[in-house]
Each structure stands twice: as structure tokens, then as C-alpha cells.
């Protein structure tokens, strides 16, 4: 385990931190080790305008404790932050741009009146998804306050690690299954992770709709889940006339059978639940095999960015 290429992913949530160490390759990843540690209540408060960590010393100690359980040499980590720490949106842009930085400037200008904070105090990145027939660009935009991002980066560095890629939880939950999602003509993906419901629709591998909602409470309200999925599909159909969902998937934690029943009622399609163990090989040294890897989905997705 101490030799060869190893990629480490970290998933941060109000409940604690999960880390996963992967070996192998991007096409054939293998889980080598895992490490988890809980945060005492009140360590984190997930907001998008202010630093999230209320007890930095406890945060640093917990991250260090979880990492030490991996027994790996690499200090470089790819990090998954809770979705509520920032904002993600899909934009249509009429203006072309000659460089990535020019694109950032155009997006900042477009969003300056709609964002809940000063555009000069944000870290913004984006990805061009596709060019539409009318010449518009479909762009996926991720935004996080510099105060929020800098605090996480500084504290992870203080724990002795080097954060090199930072993303939001929903995308890391989906990353291990992206090849399966890309195979579908039009697919609905519903993810649930530690109180956050995410709804995504892909068409020919391109993200067409994105929405996240904090449900709160120890158990998700399934009536709320149904309403969120149903209203999301209505919005998607209104914006994309002629496109209909052909497949559905459920990812994440929670009662998978109950989620599948609610999603099926909302979209009329029986959803699949891909198994992480069919995509990422599990080392014999990992107790519990594939079942033990399921709660690590976001950390695994983060780690795959470094393979």
C-alpha cells in the first residue's frame, strides 16, 4: 500500500470526515484504505457567507485522526465540501469568450445582481457543457465565498495535508457512476446524502438540470422528496420540450427501497441503484467489502479526480 500511485479523497460534512485511498487507474480504481472520524456537535455550521468551521482545533485534530488511519504516504487530497457551502447553477451565455479568465469575468458580470454576496469576494469556476443550436453556451458554474474556501484550505493544510482539488458533494457522489449515466439517452439521477437531496437530469451525457435541497431532520420526508422530484421534472420538461427521461437512478444513503418507490411514483420509471462495489474494486483488507464502501461514495468520487 505504501508504494505505487495512491489517490486520496476527503468528504467533509457536519457529522464528520470520511477519507478514501484509491489505487489502480481511473478506469479500474481499487479502494485500498478508508478512514473516518466524527465531529463533535457544533464543530461545523454550513453556510455560504461565513467561515464554516466553528472550532478549528477540533476540526484539524479530527481530519488528522481520520487521515492517519489510511496508512498512506501521499499528503495530497481532493476534497468534497457540502453543497450548501456554495452555489452551483446552469447558465446560458450568448457571449463567446477567448479565454477561461474572460469567461469568469463575463459570468461575474451576469451574476452580480443575483448573487447573495459581493462578486469580488467569491471564488468562481465553470465548465462549458455544450453549444446549443442557437449559438448559446450551456455553462455549469460553481461559486464559493473566498472566506469559506480559504478557511477549509488553511485548516486542511494545518492538519498536514495538501488540498489540490475542491468540489461539492453532489458531483463527487455521481463521479463513480458517470460512465453509466453517460450511456443513457436521458436520465434522472436523484442523490441523497446526510440530509441533502440532489436532482440532476443528463441528456446524452450532458447535464441539463441541477437542483439541491436541504431536507433537514433525522429521516427524510418522503412527501417532500416526491414534490421536489416532481416539480424538478416539470421545470426540466418546460425548458426542454420534447425531451423525456428514459432511465432513473438513486445514489447515496437512506432507505434505498423507499427512495426508489417515491422516485418511481414521481417519474413513472423504476430507478436503478448502481453498486459502488461493481465500479471500484475493494481490497480484501477492507472489512465489510462493498457495503462498507457505500458511505464513502463522495470521498471515493473525490479521490477519483486524482487518479
pLDDT at 288: 60
Q: Of all residues in the chain, what percent carry a pLDDT higher than 70?
A: 95
Q: What is the pLDDT of residue 2?
A: 43
The ranges of the chain annotated as CATH 3.30.420.40 are 7-83+147-173+277-304, 178-274
According to CATH, what is the number of the domain 7-83+147-173+277-304? 3.30.420.40
Residues 105, 107, 109, CA angle at the centre, nearest 5°? Answer: 70
- Retrieve residue 176's grid coordinates: 463513480
Instruction: Please list the residue range(s) of the chain that carry CATH number 3.30.1490.300.
Output: 86-145
CATH topology of domain 178-274: Nucleotidyltransferase; domain 5 (3.30.420)
3.65.10.10, 3.40.50.2020, 3.40.47.10, 3.30.1490.300: CATH of 86-145: 3.30.1490.300
Q: Are 223 and 263 in contact (CB under 8 A)?
A: no
Look at residue 269 in the predicted model and tell me its pLDDT.
95
pLDDT of residue 1: 41
**Which residues in the chain come in under a pLDDT of 50?**
1-3
Alpha helices for 127-281 (secondary structure H): 146-158, 169-174, 178-182, 222-239, 256-267
pLDDT at 113: 79
Amino acid at each position: 500500500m505504501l508504494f505505487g500511485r495512491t489517490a486520496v479523497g476527503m468528504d467533509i460534512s457536519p457529522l464528520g470526515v470520511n477519507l478514501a485511498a484509491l489505487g489502480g487507474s481511473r478506469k479500474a480504481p481499487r479502494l485500498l484504505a478508508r478512514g473516518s472520524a466524527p465531529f463533535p456537535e457544533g464543530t461545523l455550521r454550513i453556510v455560504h457567507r461565513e467561515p464554516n468551521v466553528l472550532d478549528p482545533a477540533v476540526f484539524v485534530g479530527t481530519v488528522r485522526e481520520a487521515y492517519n488511519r489510511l496508512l498512506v504516504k501521499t499528503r495530497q487530497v481532493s476534497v468534497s465540501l457540502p453543497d450548501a457551502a456554495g452555489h452551483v447553477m446552469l447558465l446560458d451565455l450568448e457571449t463567446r469568450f477567448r479565454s477561461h479568465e474572460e469567461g469568469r469575468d463575463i459570468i461575474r458580470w451576469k451574476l452580480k445582481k443575483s448573487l447573495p454576496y459581493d462578486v469580488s469576494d467569491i471564488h468562481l469556476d465553470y465548465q462549458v457543457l455544450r453549444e446549443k443550436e442557437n449559438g448559446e453556451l450551456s455553462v455549469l458554474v460553481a461559486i464559493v465565498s473566498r472566506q469559506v474556501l480559504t478557511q477549509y484550505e488553511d485548516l486542511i493544510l494545518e492538519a498536514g495535508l495538501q488540498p489540490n482539488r475542491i468540489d461539492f458533494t453532489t458531483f463527487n457522489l455521481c463521479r463513480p457512476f458517470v460512465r453509466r449515466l453517460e450511456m443513457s439517452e436521458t436520465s434522472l439521477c436523484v442523490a441523497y446524502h446526510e440530509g441533502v437531496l440532489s436532482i440532476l437530469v443528463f441528456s446524452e451525457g450532458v447535464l441539463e438540470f441541477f437542483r439541491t435541497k436541504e431536507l433537514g431532520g433525522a429521516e427524510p420526508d418522503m412527501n417532500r422528496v416526491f414534490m421536489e422530484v416532481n416539480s424538478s421534472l416539470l421545470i426540466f420538461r418546460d425548458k426542454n420540450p420534447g425531451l423525456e427521461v428514459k432511465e432513473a437512478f438513486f445514489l447515496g444513503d437512506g432507505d434505498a427501497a423507499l427512495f426508489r418507490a417515491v422516485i418511481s411514483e414521481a417519474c413513472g420509471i423504476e430507478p436503478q441503484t448502481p453498486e459502488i462495489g461493481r465500479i471500484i474494486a475493494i481490497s480484501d483488507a477492507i472489512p465489510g467489502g462493498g457495503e462498507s464502501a457505500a458511505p464513502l461514495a463522495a470521498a471515493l468520487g473525490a479521490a477519483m479526480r486524482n487518479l
